[in-house]
Chains A and B, each alone.
Chain A
Amino acid sequence: MATVEERVKAVTARVLKLDADEIKPEHSFTVDLGAESVQSVELVAMFEEEFGVEMDEDAALSVETVGKAVEYIAEVCKQQGVDVEQ
């Protein structure tokens, strides 16, 4: 089973039309990866779908980097009883 980080990178690559191998944990979704407003919303929606969780809108949209998204999603999965590979 892929790790949270691998799955986050895969979703990010799909939504932003990037190569997953080029995405780094320190990358900012907006500044480095070029996510526009609507794409930020799409990213959160796709993360919810990928991990089968519901996220708080404001908290999810305030996450700035890929690494922070991995941490945030892992925490949400834990709170909502969803098993994931760390």
Chain B
Amino acid sequence: MEKAKKQHPLADAREPNLLEDIYPYSLPPLIRFERPAVEYIDGEAVEFDFAAVKDRDILITDTTFRDGQQARPPYTVEQMVYIYDLMSRLGGPNGVLRQTEFFLYTKNDRETLDRCRALGHKYPECTGWIRAVKGDFRLVKEAGLKETGILTSCSDYHIFHKLKFRSRAECMDRYCEIVEAAFEAGVRPRCHLEDVTRADIEGFVLPFIDRLMEMSSQVPEELSAKIRLCDTMGFGISYPGAELPRSIPKLIYKLNRECGVPSDRLEWHGHNDFHKVHANGGTAWLYGCDAVNTTVFGFGERTGNPPLEGAIFEYIALKGDLCGIDTMAITDLADYMRSIGLPIPDNYPFVGKAFNTTRAGIHADGLRRDEQIYNIFDTEKLLGRPPRVAITDKSGTDGLVHWVNEFFGLKADDRINKIKMHKLARWVIDQYDEHGRLTAISDQELEAKVKELLPEYWQKYKES
């Protein structure tokens, strides 16, 4: 057996250390950094100061109405306006949710845009999304938008097999013509580098970026091209040491520090094909990309995009402050999405019906003693969702106690103890032992049983 390198003496204590500087409970757990991270790029050790993110103007952008809508039947105009209104409330007055993009092609697209802007919200700013076609700038101009995304796909899969260019040079020239047309139209182009994690970075992407930077230097700052790094197939990797083109740290370094694209003109757009989408977005923030592009609950093409609500909590965790964000709007968004038929799995973080519901009796016992033991943060304060217990034969009487007290809204000394609930506990156990039940007991069933078996409490707390 290998000898231990270091001995670790017990730091005995009679009072718990709950690490409240990291886990404040009133906020999501904070993300703090000890020292800069190091990535080896082209043989050189490069430092990235993650802690600087606290002072950088990182932000969230949204593509719920563009990429998000490609994954489902179209939203109605009313639905989009309602969602936009909620997104504005969520991102708050500081514009943490800075922009959202709209299609501009149909009458409905343009009516939606007009009605969203008519709400008068400063944020999220409305931007467009068009094909890489010169004529489409007329739509952007007519809509009165200052910025639009344009497709500038950059892998050879797209350049040769999808777009059928004869050479990379021809492709780049075409893209630059479109960017020039944007400048001429007085519209800021946001170049979407589609499939960048499968592209030849040194051979095509960086030369294209160099040219964009040169072109941007000839126009006013507010028109200079923004770059969206589109991880179209979800191939991006956050790990230090990973190779290009999949390495997110290296991609951002190359554009940010080699090509000189400022952080505030860089945006990350991910996909969730390998379950990496949220972590990859956070990685992009840390390595120097200011904007992370998201969709409400991650709805998007195929496996979806970085979930907006995940980015919101990541943002708070990095900043250590709500920064004007109204997290309760996340719950309202979920309620609304369900009401218009969008499925949200029960175990989906932050908004699923069971995201903070425990079924295990031993966890329920922890919740009964102190909800912080098994709740990720103050979910009642931030999301209007107190921790809950779903009742099955595995919930134990502790689970039942938690459910009943939460149902009656009783806290501390007012809580009803488990002894008073023995008849209810027996009924639950008999459902499984005597009647062979295999499903969880619904809230409605339990309510009826509480009324029957705890009538004095029902009368006191429900009828008074």
CA distance A42 to B422 in the complex (A): 5
CA distance A44 to B419 in the complex (A): 7
Q: Which residue of A lies closest to B420 (CB)?
A: A45
Contact A38 B419, beta carbon cutoff 8 Å:
no
Q: How far is the CB of A86 from chain B (nearest CB, A)?
A: 25
Contact-residue bracket for chain B: 10 to 19
Q: How far is the CB of A29 from chain B (nearest CB, A)?
A: 15
CA distance A60 to B397 in the complex (A): 15
A interface: dominant SS: helix
Contacts of A37 in B (CB 8 A): 361, 396-397
Please encode chain B, from 403 to 446, with 1 for each CB lying within 8 Å of some chain A CB and 0 for all others.
00000000000000111111001101100000000000000000
CA distance A4 to B426 in the complex (A): 26
Interface assignment of A35: CB less than 8 Å from any CB of chain B: no
Contact A38 B417, beta carbon cutoff 8 Å:
no
Q: Give the most central of B417, B419, B420: most A CB within 10 Å.
A: B419
Please encode chain B, from 52 to 83, with 1 for each CB lying within 8 Å of some chain A CB and 0 for all others.
00000000000000000000000000000000
Interface assignment of A55: CB less than 8 Å from any CB of chain B: yes
Q: How far is the CB of B121 from chain A (nearest CB, A)?
A: 52
CA distance A72 to B427 in the complex (A): 28
Contacts of B425 in A (CB 8 A): 38, 41-42
Contact A55 B419, beta carbon cutoff 8 Å:
yes
CA distance A79 to B417 in the complex (A): 20
Q: How far is the CB of A74 from chain B (nearest CB, A)?
A: 19
Please encode chain A, from 22 to 64, with 1 for each CB lying within 8 Å of some chain B CB and 0 for all others.
0000000000000011100110110010000001010010000
Q: How far is the CB of B397 from chain A (nearest CB, A)?
A: 5
Q: How far is the CB of B78 from chain A (nearest CB, A)?
A: 51
CA distance A37 to B422 in the complex (A): 11
Known: A37-B361, A38-B425, A38-B429. A60 touches B419 (CB 8 A): yes
Contact A45 B419, beta carbon cutoff 8 Å:
yes
Contact A38 B422, beta carbon cutoff 8 Å:
yes
Contact B417 A57, beta carbon cutoff 8 Å:
yes
Q: How far is the CB of B391 from chain A (nearest CB, A)?
A: 13
Q: How far is the CB of A31 from chain B (nearest CB, A)?
A: 19
Q: How far is the CB of A64 from chain B (nearest CB, A)?
A: 17
Contacts of A42 in B (CB 8 A): 422, 425-426
User: What are 25 A-B interface contacts by the 8 Å CB criterion?
Assistant: A36-B429, A37-B361, A37-B397, A38-B397, A38-B422, A38-B425, A38-B426, A38-B429, A41-B397, A41-B418, A41-B419, A41-B421, A41-B422, A41-B425, A42-B422, A42-B425, A42-B426, A44-B422, A45-B419, A45-B420, A45-B422, A48-B419, A55-B419, A57-B418, A60-B419
Instruction: Please give the residue numbers on chain A whose beta carbons come within 8 Å of chain B beta carbons, in ascending order.
Output: 36-38, 41-42, 44-45, 48, 55, 57, 60
